[in-house]
Amino acid sequence: MGRRVMAVLAALVVGLIGVGAVLFYAKGADARAVRDQKPQTVLFAAALVPSGTSAADAVAKGLIVPTQVAAKGVPVGALTKVDDATGRLLALSDIAPGEFVVARRFGTTPMGQKAIQVPDGQVAVSVALDDPARVGAFVTPGSRIVIYLTYAPGDASTGAASQAKVTRVLLDDVLVIAVGSTSLTPSASNDDQKPASNTGAIAVTVALSPAPAVRLVHGIQTGKLYAALRGTDTKTSVGQVVSDSTLFSK
């Protein structure tokens, strides 16, 4: 009986030694395989990196993160880090999630970079206004303005335009997102404000929901527009109409 127990114990010991040897060999093989692949740390896009985003901002926002890949899988020019020099460079075009980040995707002049950022769900419409019609140089990106329209109302029976003019509030609270080439989100190549035409008018770009945008476009095509800066808690009446006959009425 004692010999049988000893034989069983010996078999268990031999088995454990064998299992340990196999595990040790497997672990060593895995380590050798990893060493043979020579893993390298490179950067890849974890989320969309929009055109014009600096490399430093992309890293800070978690859009670009480090990962380890086998050396043979690293594309030519792959970035391994973002330093002071590369951090100032801008994405030349959108970098899709999952892409390796390579040096050639960054530069100083983005291609197709958006000069303005239009709020979600809105559209940008530009209006050419001269100095008085845009409160001199005081309407700037970020201003909120009232837009007035002066036009000649048509005769409902004949369709002909009347000689008399009327003025009314077309839009009572509008966000300005750009004046000339200066915007709330300036591009790397912003120039000074440039006239929209030879008359000295400058394009004032506003952000609107689709429905009021149609009204503004129609006003641009059919009348003359004028803008005023809104003060705090300013209240205007979109229904107010002033005509030649009511100009001096109280």
Residue 112 lies inside a defined structural domain of this protein = no
Task: Walk along the chain (250 residues) and give the pLDDT tens digit of each residue.
Answer: 556 656 655 566 555 565 555 555 556 555 555 555 678 888 989 999 988 889 999 999 999 999 888 877 778 888 888 998 888 888 888 888 888 898 888 887 665 555 577 888 899 999 999 888 888 888 888 899 999 999 988 644 445 556 678 899 999 999 998 888 776 655 444 444 444 443 468 889 999 999 999 999 999 999 999 999 988 777 777 778 888 777 777 6
Predicted confidence at residue 123, as pLDDT, reads 93
Predicted confidence at residue 196, as pLDDT, reads 40
Helix segments in the chain, DSSP class H: 2-37, 55-60, 84-87, 210-222
Residue 195 lies inside a defined structural domain of this protein = yes
The domain boundary residue, chosen from 48, 75, 107: 107
101 and 175 in a single domain? The answer is no
Predicted confidence at residue 32, as pLDDT, reads 57
Residue 23 lies inside a defined structural domain of this protein = no
Predicted confidence at residue 98, as pLDDT, reads 86
199 and 141 in a single domain? The answer is yes
| Cα pseudo-dihedral 154, 157, 159, 164, rounded to 10 | -30
Predicted confidence at residue 126, as pLDDT, reads 93
133 and 234 in a single domain? The answer is yes
103 and 147 in a single domain? The answer is no
- Domain count along the chain: 2
101 and 133 in a single domain? The answer is no
d(CA 142, CA 122): 15
| Helices (runs of H) and strands (runs of E) counted in the chain | 4, 11
| Contact yes or no for 47/62 (Cβ under 8 A) | yes
d(CA 153, CA 163): 8
The domain boundary residue, chosen from 66, 83, 107: 107
150 and 180 in a single domain? The answer is yes
149 and 65 in a single domain? The answer is no
Predicted confidence at residue 113, as pLDDT, reads 52
Predicted confidence at residue 235, as pLDDT, reads 77
d(CA 219, CA 239): 15
99 and 148 in a single domain? The answer is no
Predicted confidence at residue 144, as pLDDT, reads 92
Predicted confidence at residue 107, as pLDDT, reads 85
Residue 34 lies inside a defined structural domain of this protein = no
Residue 20 lies inside a defined structural domain of this protein = no
d(CA 66, CA 70): 13
Predicted confidence at residue 180, as pLDDT, reads 83
Name the residue range of residue 236's domain: 123-243
User: In which residue are the tokens 């309407």 written?
Assistant: 139
Residue 25 lies inside a defined structural domain of this protein = no
